[in-house]
Structure 1
């Protein structure tokens, strides 16, 4: 092994339509020594379509789970069954831009290394091989804990760009040294939780603004269909992170802010669920059960109602349509990429 060999892990469920492009983009990269697809109990022919995408190099393997266990379990299974010194996660409906790993491995001064993500609306994606990313500087920067946590707080009416969406290349040695794996209790924010825990334990998390990952934005994506309880589990994960003794007070303050942000979203969603299932009286009882419930619920409902009222009166713009192309992180354009 050369020391820069990568295992690409693709957790897939009902991804027969998109997984050939994902696999092809991984096998195209010279640094990729293994591509491990984990079919998470798909009800379509994801596994057979994935096997058919093999390029004959012997680098592709496909695992099948009989019971749907979620992306964390699938990724951990792939980590356990692979051997390369570096791990790279690829979602089954996304793809790598050509030359991605060459840029990330340009300097070996990191434990996690992520590049920019080009977000592409599904209806304009077309031929992935013809997509040209904007040319941004590849000058590196390093994320500290507070900046990472703050970078995962979404804002109303702002295009989402949380840093937890990043798909870094990860040092297996760092994960093993600190006993880190994906939290199998999470089906939302599992990337965020792993990155946060790693940075809290000293991981050097390098980011470059040049694009190397293409993410297809679909209205029916699995990541957009999380359950209300998934929000509660994510907020609880923040409480677990707060138990890390070595965290300075500034880092704990950032975590508490993120926990409140996610917990408030959970309380609002729970209120709406109770209203839909048991009626307004039960929902009101839930809201009035505590001030912690009441404030985010009133704030969230009021914001939605006011926004709808202002739009109806022509005093507010309509919700922004997802643009055909955008990037997760803004960057400095360059005439030529290094």
Structure 2
């Protein structure tokens, strides 16, 4: 048994009961000698069962020591407590919601044995790592190129390879020589970003750094509660950590040569936090921006130069504290000429004009600017956020047409906070929104933009809609006043006249949309881009979604998703959900999603101990997650059935009011005669169908043949290649891009009336045409 462990792994633990077993199980090595590795887990007053779980593991693993803190000290304090008890030559701070890949600990130990035998052992061993996302997807270390260079692999100082500061500054992929760390005189900070006050000094002062070019760490990204996705005033804690870093530089002249590089890196992190939607609460953003300027004033070296280009301009405005000019540049990507000269004066004046009711004056002024050939504006569901077909098109366009910048329109700051990190957005009726709507060459929406935002000649409008129609739509509602609910059909015709393209998910939709929305647009018979995810889904992705939703492993999951009923007000509880849960039993989970028109929720979902668990998922932002999680869909007349059919899983139609619905709303086919699966007119029949598992596979097969012939996972790419200027050829066997290159022109390609359709090659659904949506 070795007298001194070679490695101590310090594991701070708080609120991660769901992830902790995977982490603990991963901390094993086949090659470790007895006593070579010690584990110190710090229970930071965890509110869940983590403390008891750690004690159970410690009882059967003599490497593990558990410290139970009397009060919560935060991640930094927990690490400090573990470090105080560590005895290893090296220490590795592993986060307890992450885990090590198989063989990683063996690989690290092998490196540490070699280093310990060296006359100049490495002070820090950096490892490669992998990002893992909630949906089960993964991404290799995006900064590997900055680390895998030969100087760092062989051993060097930070001054000899400053490129390493382009990588992540977190502590979890850095194994540090313990005596060296203690001699630095640094400590983990309190609050958020607590580790950078250790990692920067550890890298800056090291006599020898090494990089192990092997993924040795799985870093879990995007989990609920992670600071990278959590709105909080504590993001301002970063500034205290920056102060500690520069205080260290003041004490260590040997490391001061990299001061300018460190300043660049900390300034970049601060503005990234500020720019990321939803991190800094709205009411604190101005104060946070002032902290950025104060940080620059205190720590910017005298000989520092900002980088060139737009990035340098952003940093310069942030350092100056010019928030108005910074926001204009961030949202639009450029500054108006007047703003370039007098940013402080012009932007406030524009904002005052908008607030004072003169937004159309401002909008019309922006319309005198030339169209931006590389700007696309996206929106979904009346500016509710990032979703549906526009989101799928946006993601594919970023791959295939990277020159085209996509900007999303959201209705308010609340919606903005929910946008995915890194996705640009503008808020309705702000100057940035007015400019984007006035100058974009592309519009992509699944509903209509406000009629006041008149499309200019040269702008290309892509209308995706958001569902295969069972119920009557558009102009087909003229003789159904209750369903039309005051619809302005003249205004609808004006909106359709602006469409250049209308996306169709299947031949049935093509047939009826041409009559419901008569116009001169080109009909893109591509399939629905949003369904690509379903067509391409893997078992691993489905399992990850189920885990994220909290569904018990092995539980048969039923998604109940009724549609809106005109004339009935809000949610109509046709099913007794607690009773259904009792009948299904504890081996089931019942997901309930009310229509987004309804805000009151599904009511009381309390059940007994022997019933299925009921989860209200009405507020879950991504409906495709729910499809992937569910073993069976129960709906009535919702278009969700057509999307869910792509997965080829059982569907049950619960239609107790079918005759009333078809009379009030009007339908395009008899659902009860051509259903996607079992049909139930009462709760007893529905329960029997669900307990039967898959009673109508033949009906589902016929339904899929009719409504899913184009769902091959390539719909978004077909749309993007038709609309945008793409880079690279279409994949072998895909439909031709048609006039996609023409769509990139500034003038004359997408006129006010739209463009006529042209033939395209047969796609995966068989023969199809890109015909005009003429009235018939």
Residue 79 of structure 1 and its aligned partner are, at CA, apart by: 1.6
Does 2:14 correspond to 1:13?
yes
Name 1:52's counterpart in structure 2: 56
Q: Which residue of 2 aligns with 1:120?
A: 132
Deviations 1:220-260 (A, max 9, x none): 24332362321221332332133034236631221232343
Query: What CA distance in whole angstroms lies between the structure 1 residues aligned with 2:73 and 2:293?
Result: 36
Distance 1:125 1:25, change over 3 A: farther
Are the structure 2 counterparts of residues 180 and 283 from structure 1 closer, same or farther at C-alpha, using a change threshold of 3 Å?
closer
CA contact (8 A) 1:235 1:262 kept: no
Which stretch shows the higher mean deviation, 69-78 or 291-300?
Answer: 291-300
* Structure 1 residues 288 and 295: alpha-carbon distance in aligned structure 2, compared to 1, 3 A threshold: closer
Alignment partner of 2:267 out of 260, 264, 271:
260
Using the TM superposition, give the Cα deviation of residue 175 of structure 1 relative to its aligned residue in structure 2, in angstroms.
Answer: 2.3
Q: How far, CA to CA, are the matches of 1:141 and 1:255 in structure 2?
A: 23
Q: Is the 8 A contact 1:27 1:35 kept in 2?
A: no
The alignment partner of 1:231 has SS state of helix
- The CA deviation at 1:117 is 0.5
What corresponds to 1:193 in structure 2? 197
Q: Does structure 2 conserve the Cα–Cα contact (< 8 Å) formed by 1:7 and 1:87?
A: yes
Aligned-partner Cα distance in 1 for 2:238–2:322:
14
Distance in 1, matches of 2:281 and 2:61, equals 53
Structure 1 CA distance for aligned equivalents of residues 263 and 293 of structure 2: 23
Alpha-carbon deviations, 1:60-102, whole Å to 9, x = none? Answer: 1221223221222111111212322221111111111232243
Residues 85-94 or 311-320, more deviating: 311-320
Q: Distance in 1 between matches of 2:282 and 2:273?
A: 14
Q: How many residues align?
A: 305
The answer to whether the Cα contact below 8 Å between 2:204 and 2:255 also exists between their aligned partners in 1 is no
CA contact (8 A) 2:274 2:280 kept: no
Cα distance change on mapping 1:286 and 1:53 into 2, 3 Å: closer
Deviations, residues 94-145 of structure 1 (Å, cap 9, x unaligned): 111232243333331312112100111122179xxxxx99xx9997243533
How far apart are residue 183 of structure 1 and its match?
2.5
Match of 1:316 in 2: 405
* Greater mean alpha carbon deviation, residues 115-124 or residues 311-320: 311-320
Is the CA contact 1:70–1:184 (under 8 Å) kept in the aligned structure 2? no
Answer with 1 or 2: which has the greater Rg. 2
Cα separation, partners in 2 of 1:29 and 1:73, compared to 1, 3 Å: farther
Residues 28-76 of structure 1 deviation map (CA, whole Å, 9 limit, x = unaligned):
4543522111111211111112223347231112212232212221111
Secondary structure of 2:251's counterpart equals coil
Aligned to 1:301: 327
Cα distance change, pair 59–138 in 1 and its aligned pair in 2 (3 A): farther
Structure 1 unaligned blocks of 5 or more:
127-131, 154-160, 326-338
> Which of residues 119, 123, 134 in structure 2 aligns to 1:111?
123
**What is the CA–CA distance in structure 2 between the aligned matches of 1:277 and 1:42, rounded to whole Å?**
29
Q: Work out the CA distance in 2 between the residues paired with 1:237 and 1:37.
A: 26
- 1:244 is aligned to 251
Q: Secondary structure at the match of 2:188?
A: coil
CA shift in 2, pair 1:40/1:6, >3 Å: same
Q: Does 1:98 align with 2:102?
A: yes
* Aligned CA-pair RMSD: 4.4
Matches within 5 A, 1:1-338: 1=2, 5-28=6-29, 30-31=31-32, 33-54=37-58, 56-104=60-108, 105-106=110-111, 107-108=114-115, 109-124=121-136, 140-142=153-155, 144-146=157-159, 151-152=164-165, 161-164=167-170, 166-176=172-182, 178-185=183-190, 187-190=192-195, 192-224=196-228, 225=230, 227-247=234-254, 250-264=257-271, 276=283, 294-295=320-321, 297-298=323-324, 300-306=326-332, 310-312=375-377, 315-317=404-406
Using the alignment, how far apart are the partners of 2:3 and 2:290 within structure 1? 62
Distance 1:246 1:285 in 2: 29
- Residues in 2 aligned to 1:114 and 1:194: alpha-carbon distance in whole angstroms: 14
**Larger RCO: Structure 1 or Structure 2 (Cα < 8 Å, ≥ 6 residues apart)?**
1
Question: In structure 2, what is the Cα distance between the partners aligned to 1:275 and 1:121?
Answer: 27
SS at 1:183's partner residue? coil
SS in 2 for 1:243: helix
Aligned partners of 1:36 and 1:63 also within 8 Å: yes
TM-score, length of structure 1 as denominator length? 0.72
2:318–2:326 Cα contact (<8 Å) kept: no
State whether residues 27 and 105 of structure 2, in contact with CA within 8 Å, keep that contact through their aligned partners in structure 1: no
* 8 Å CA contact 1:235, 1:260 repeated in 2: no
Aligned partners of 2:93, 2:291: CA distance in 1, in Å?
A: 39
Distance between the aligned counterparts of 2:37 and 2:291, measured in 1? 52
Q: What is the CA–CA distance in structure 1 between the aligned matches of 2:254 and 2:215, rounded to whole Å?
A: 32
Give the conservation status (yes or no) of the 8 Å contact 1:238–1:259.
no
Q: Secondary structure at the match of 1:50?
A: helix
Deviating beyond 6 angstroms after TM superposition, the runs of 4 or more aligned structure 1 residues are: 136-139, 266-269, 282-291, 318-322
